[in-house]
Amino acid sequence: MTRAELPPQPMTCLKGEIERIMSFYHPRCIDPAGGYFQFFNPDGSVHDAGTRHLVSSARMSFNHAVAFEHLQQAQHADAVRHGLTFLRRAHRRPRPGGYAWILRDGRIHDASNHCYGLAFVMLAYAKAMAVGIEDTRADLADTWNLLEAHFWEPRHGLYADEATADWVVSPYRGQNANMHLCEAFIAAWRASGESRFLDRAALLAHNMVLRQAEQCRGQIWEHYRRDWHIDWDYNRNDRSNIFRPWGLQPGHQIEWAKLLLQLDRHAPEAWRLERACRLFTTAVELAWDPLHGGLIYGYDPDGKPYDCDKYSWVQAEAMTTAALLHVRTGESAFGDWHERIAAYCRQNFVDPATGCWYRIRHPDNSEKPEPGAFSGLTDYHTLSAYSDLIQSGCEPAGTDIPIKTGAKP
């Protein structure tokens, strides 16, 4: 396989999409009292003014950093600083350490510690530093130290998942936190140049994608017991936990493929590209809905559909990773997948009124109403996807969503 050569391309279309989405969130998401409003009605009014979720607090800061990077508008840099101040002063707990999971009306509602949340805290600090908004080296070190002290398991080379407010670690182990830490560590390395971040990201990828995937025929299962053996029954038939769904998640197989490509760009290893191609291809072939289009949310260990709803983040990750694989390999199959998924997204997920993406659709792509339709939605995956496409040199097609890359098969 050879890398497809890309001529320099203007990115006005993709930057326009970033600006369009951010025009919904900014400035209405800014709470002058601190942090960001995170729950909106479809008309843009605030649905819940008092609740702050750590993941959304961090993601919203990341989003503004992405907007500043590509649009160079000072208002977004100011919004990043506003968000980081809230992370440090409201979510951060000096004693006994950690970041509160949920705040309500300025007070801690859920003080439990989540590795998944710390991954996004690190990502927010890293992105701010990378785009020159603020030197967050001390914050990156602090977050690393929290992870090292409480969640890191050297014997397994992976992170535990959840702990109480006073750091009693639960027996649950999960891949999702490790995947997003891999993402955050790559970003932290890019921002700081500290090799420990890239080394740890590479180790997480190796242990999850090679070692752990051996337990599930080459794919990455979501849930594990304390000894890192698969827990096949965790949350089976319970679809209420959006952070820990049962089954194989095609979106997560695809995200790992993207992370392998990013790692391979900085620290090449022979196995990564081959495994990225395999993870992506298996996921889209099993998850693509041939009748209605789009990728379903989950399938069982035998590849049979389990949850056929369509989630925006799955489509966004697949659209982007297909393009990145096409750029890297020049193989037309990946370019075809990119076009197919992007066209599907443009038709079914982009809200023409706001520019944001609907969070979830029924299997037939009809609307799936939710209480407070924008509750907890930040468009993090969408904005990250557009940013990744810009950085890879993918060519806009003059439409709301790019439907091809500049690579020539």
What are the pLDDT digits (tens) for 79-128?
999 999 999 999 999 989 999 999 999 999 999 999 999 999 999 999 99
**94 preceded by cis ω (within 30°)?**
no
Rounded Cα–Cα distance for residues 338 and 355 (Å): 20
Query: What are the structure tokens assigned to 241, written together?
Result: 């936990």
Instruction: Give me the pLDDT at residue 5, please.
Output: 36
pLDDT of residue 67: 98
Q: Which residues are bridge partners to 102 per DSSP? A: 53, 110
Question: Do the beta carbons of residue 326 and residue 335 sit within 8 Å?
Answer: yes
Residue with tokens 């601190």: 34
pLDDT digits (tens, 9 = 90+) for 306-339: 999 999 999 999 999 999 999 999 999 999 999 9
Pick from 237, 218, 339: nearest CA to 298 = 237
Is it true that the peptide bond before 250 is cis, omega within 30 degrees of 0?
A: no
* Residue 42 main-chain phi, psi, to 5 deg: -55, -25
**162 bridge partner residues:** 114
8 A C-beta contact, residue 41 and residue 47: yes
Q: How many CA atoms lie within 13 A of 41 on its CB side?
A: 6
Contacts 24+ apart (CB under 8 A), 358-362: 358/312, 359/311, 359/312, 360/309, 360/310, 360/311, 360/312, 361/294, 361/309, 361/310, 362/309, 362/310
The strand pairing partners of 367, in sequence order, are: 361
Q: Which of 271, 283, 356 is nearest to 319 (CA)?
A: 283
Q: What local confidence, expressed as pLDDT, does residue 239 receive? A: 79
Q: What is the mean pLDDT of residues 226-255?
A: 93
All domains in the chain, ordered by first residue: 12-235+245-392 (1.50.10.10)
Residue found by looking up tokens 């951060």 in the block: 92
Give the per-residue pLDDT at 98. Answer: 96
DSSP β-bridge partners for residue 110: 102
Tokens of 87: 């992370």
Rounded distance, CA 389 to CA 138, Å? 30
Report pLDDT digits (tens) over 37-91.
Answer: 999 887 889 989 999 999 999 999 999 999 999 999 999 999 999 999 999 999 9
For 300, list phi and psi in degrees, rounded to 5. Answer: -85, 175
The residues with which 169 forms a beta bridge, in sequence order, are: 163
pLDDT tens digits, 336-389 = 999 999 999 999 999 988 889 999 999 999 988 765 544 567 999 999 999 999
- Residues contacting 61, CB < 8 A, separation 6+: 36, 79, 80, 83, 84, 87, 124, 127, 128
Q: Model confidence over 254-291: pLDDT tens digits?
A: 999 999 999 999 989 999 999 999 999 999 999 999 99
Cβ neighbors of 287 (< 8 A, separation 6 or more) are 250, 295, 296, 299, 314
3-state secondary structure the chain: CCCCCCCCCCCHHHHHHHHHHHHHHCCCCECCCCCECCCECCCCCECCCCEEEHHHHHHHHHHHHHHHHHHCCHHHHHHHHHHHHHHHHHHECCCCCCECCEEECCEEEECCEEHHHHHHHHHHHHHHHHCCCCCCHHHHHHHHHHHHHHCEECCCCEECCEECCCCCECCCEEHHHHHHHHHHHHHHHHHHCCHHHHHHHHHHHHHHHHHHHHHHCCCCCCEECCCCCECCCCCCCCCCCCCCCCCECHHHHHHHHHHHHHHHHHCCCHHHHHHHHHHHHHHHHHHECCCCCCECCEECCCCCEEECCEEHHHHHHHHHHHHHHHHHHCCHHHHHHHHHHHHHHHHHCECCCCCCECCEECCCCCECCCCCCCCCCCCHHHHHHHHHHHHHCCCCCCCCCCCCCCCCC
Task: Give the catalytic positions in this structure.
Answer: 252, 381
